[in-house]
């Protein structure tokens, strides 16, 4: 039997979901500040002006992660805290804040990881078209260079862009996430520019030696509703959209427009050399997975030709997110990504379970037990899995779902801002101390 290397365990958080302090110390507005002004866009009418106040409570949160025994603290940088206008003047107080976070992690013995972009574009850049404007490739490169120059002396692991499909699909196709844009033209131009930006960001970071630079890909297992050719074709289309579009162009496989023909329209936005420029030999790939979807052929749905069978209409209990909780997807995607390149280091850079406030946290323990089992199975199979980052530490602002879903292993009281480790957090603490 292959000897399993010990995996690393950590946690992931994101600036827009936790920091709060939205107008403090020179921070500029982000598209999520603007989007949440329309409170009807958010299920509980909330916003992230305060969120979990990580800006002021970061030491407490990092201490909690250390106390639980986690080894990695992955956080994202708010672009508009560093560059209030998106480009131009650097905000020294923004640099200072993240220096403090990084230094504190190092001081207490947890490894800081940076996500350069986790969906909170500066509003000033959105005013210029945001991801639909090809200039963003340069804006992003300049931003990443600033992060590199200030933080890469102490941070080795970098994730360039978090979940392109959710960012662009939600924000520029369906309009359910900031900036609330819709339509095919917005979607395909933004997709191409985001991928180009990520590829360029990679070369910018790699100008400094010794860094480990990767991406984080949203992965949702897609299954056909019926065993018919039409449903299988529909499932392949949605799979191309959800699971291949934001990784295959980087792997040199081009856009998956064979299975999803409308992607051919992206070529309208190509410039000479783009497909080559997209190729990126990431040092690692982060897989992020939560759920599974079942789809059925539907000729009347433009571009996609498929509809989703909602989880409440299937034989599963939907979580408070409305989706099926599906830890098994972790195994499926780790095996699938290993087929692209069996040597490439893989991380489960996010996984987790949403519960409602009144649901039993034991469910989360059961979920993570399944994840642990899967990590053992895939490691025995020789898959190059390096570790797992939990989503998430403290319950926080879940985008359009507001504060309703609870993903944390630490409870959070919005009135008092107090944190309290949940049963699942204590369970993790015990587990991590046992595998040491």
Residues making contact with ligand NOJ (CB under 6 A): 14, 17, 162-163, 288, 350, 391, 398, 407
Least CB distance to ligand NOJ at residue 311 (A): 15
Closest CA to 202 of 132, 136, 151, 277: 277
Least CB distance to ligand NOJ at residue 369 (A): 20
Closest CA to 80 of 165, 23, 14, 128: 23
Least CB distance to ligand NOJ at residue 174 (A): 15
Task: Evaluate the omega torsion of the peptide bond into residue 179 and state whether it is cis, within 30 degrees of 0.
Answer: yes
3-state secondary structure of 212: strand
Closer by beta carbon to ligand NOJ, 163 or else 231: 163
Least CB distance to ligand NOJ at residue 270 (A): 28
The residue length of the chain stands at: 436
Measured in whole angstroms, how far is the alpha carbon of residue 59 from the centre of its chain? 23
Closer by beta carbon to ligand NOJ, 61 or else 163: 163
Beta bridge partners, 289, equal 219
Closer by beta carbon to ligand NOJ, 48 or else 234: 48
- Tell me how far apart the alpha carbons of residues 330 and 338 are, in angstroms, rounded to a whole number: 12
Question: Could you confirm whether 350 is annotated as catalytic?
Answer: yes
End-to-end CA distance of the chain: 21
Q: How many helices (H) and strands (E) does the chain have?
A: 14, 11
Closer by beta carbon to ligand NOJ, 146 or else 219: 219
Q: Where are the beta strands (DSSP E) in 56-124?
A: 72-76, 111-117
Read off φ and ψ for residue 208, nearest 5 degrees: -100, 130
Closer by beta carbon to ligand NOJ, 42 or else 234: 42
Out of 163, 293, 324, 398, pick the active-site residue.
Answer: 163
CB 348 within 8 Å of CB 334: yes
Least CB distance to ligand NOJ at residue 398 (A): 5
Closer by beta carbon to ligand NOJ, 295 or else 321: 321
Closer by beta carbon to ligand NOJ, 231 or else 324: 324
Out of 19, 293, 324, 350, pick the active-site residue.
Answer: 350
Least CB distance to ligand NOJ at residue 307 (A): 22
Q: Where are the beta strands (DSSP E) in 54-204?
A: 72-76, 111-117, 157-162
CB 393 within 8 Å of CB 330: no
Q: What angle do CA 328, 333, 338 make, to 5 degrees?
A: 135
Least CB distance to ligand NOJ at residue 207 (A): 27
Return all residues near 352 (Cβ < 8 A) that are at least 6 apart: 290, 364, 367, 390, 391, 392, 407
Report DSSP letters for 261-280, one per residue.
Answer: GGGGGGGGG--TTHHHHH--
Question: Could you confirm whether 163 is annotated as catalytic?
Answer: yes
Active-site amino acid positions: 163, 350
């Amino acid at each position: 039997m292959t000897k399993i290397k010990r995996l690393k365990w950590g946690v992931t958080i994101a600036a827009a979901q936790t920091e709060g302090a939205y107008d403090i110390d020179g921070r500029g507005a982000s598209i999520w500040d603007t989007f949440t002004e329309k409170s009807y866009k958010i299920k509980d009418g909330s916003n992230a002006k305060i969120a979990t106040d990580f800006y002021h409570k970061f030491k407490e949160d990092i201490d909690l992660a250390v106390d639980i025994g986690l080894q990695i603290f992955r956080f994202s940088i708010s672009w508009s805290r560093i560059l209030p206008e998106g480009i131009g003047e650097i905000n020294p107080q923004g640099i200072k804040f993240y220096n403090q976070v990084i230094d504190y992690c190092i001081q207490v013995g947890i490894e800081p990881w940076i996500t350069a972009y986790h969906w909170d574009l500066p509003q000033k850049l959105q005013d210029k078209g945001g991801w639909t404007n090809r200039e963003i490739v340069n804006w992003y490169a300049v931003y990443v260079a600033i992060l590199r120059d200030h933080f890469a002396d102490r941070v080795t692991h970098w994730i360039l862009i978090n979940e392109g499909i959710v960012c662009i699909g939600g924000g520029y196709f369906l309009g359910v996430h900031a900036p609330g844009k819709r339509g095919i033209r917005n979607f395909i131009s933004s997709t191409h520019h985001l991928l180009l930006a990520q590829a360029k960001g990679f070369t910018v970071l790699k100008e400094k030696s010794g860094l480990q630079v990767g991406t984080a890909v949203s992965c949702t297992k897609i299954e056909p509703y019926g065993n018919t050719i039409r449903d299988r074709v529909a499932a392949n289309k949605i799979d191309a959209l959800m699971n291949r579009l934001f990784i295959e162009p980087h792997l040199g496989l081009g856009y998956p427009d064979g299975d999803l023909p409308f992607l051919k329209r992206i070529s309208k936005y190509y410039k000479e050399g783009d497909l080559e420029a997209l190729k990126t030999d990431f040092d690692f790939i982060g897989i992020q997975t939560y759920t599974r979807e079942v789809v059925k052929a539907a000729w009347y749905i433009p571009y996609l030709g498929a509809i989703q069978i909602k989880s409440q209409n299937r034989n599963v209990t939907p979580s408070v997110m409305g989706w099926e909780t599906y830890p098994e997807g972790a195994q499926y995607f780790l095996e699938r990504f290993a087929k692209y390149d069996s040597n490439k280091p893989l991380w489960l850079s996010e996984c987790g379970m949403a519960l409602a406030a009144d649901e039993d946290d034991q469910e989360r323990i059961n979920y993570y037990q399944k994840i642990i089992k899967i990590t053992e199975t895939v490691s025995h199979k020789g898959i190059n899995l390096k570790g797992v980052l939990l989503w998430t530490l403290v319950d926080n602002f879940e985008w359009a779902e507001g504060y309703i879903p609870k993903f944390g292993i630490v409870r959070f009281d919005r009135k008092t801002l107090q944190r309290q480790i949940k049963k699942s957090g204590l369970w993790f603490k015990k587990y991590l101390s046992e595998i040491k």
